[in-house]
Amino acid sequence: MKRLALITSLALAAGFASAQSVDAEVRKVDTAQGKLTLKHGEIKNLDMPPMTMVFRVANKTMLDGLKAGDKVKVDVDKIDGQYTVVRLARPS
């Protein structure tokens, strides 16, 4: 058990824990531009505090049926210098 904990800590320290889901609320959906305004909680892998900001989405189909006020869980990463939603889940 101790060894597993050590390996986990090392992996976290090395930044392998980027796929961490963050709670967010949709503020605006821009289907044409493939952009999404989210009020998000802390994003640890990006060292970002909670705020409202615009994200690019990795795939525009993520925006299908999405509307302001929806609660979502997102995985976010910085891709080509742009904050990008790489995964989006809607708790039903």
Which residues are near Cu ion by CB under 5 A? 48, 51, 53
Most distant pair of Cα atoms in the chain: their distance = 50
Kindly tell me which of 53 and 89 has the beta carbon lying closer to Cu ion.
53
Kindly tell me which of 6 and 74 has the beta carbon lying closer to Cu ion.
74
Q: How far is the CB of 51 from Cu ion (least distance, A)?
A: 4
Kindly tell me which of 48 and 86 has the beta carbon lying closer to Cu ion.
48
Alpha-carbon distances of 54 from 5, 6, 7, 35, rounded to whole Å: 36, 36, 35, 7
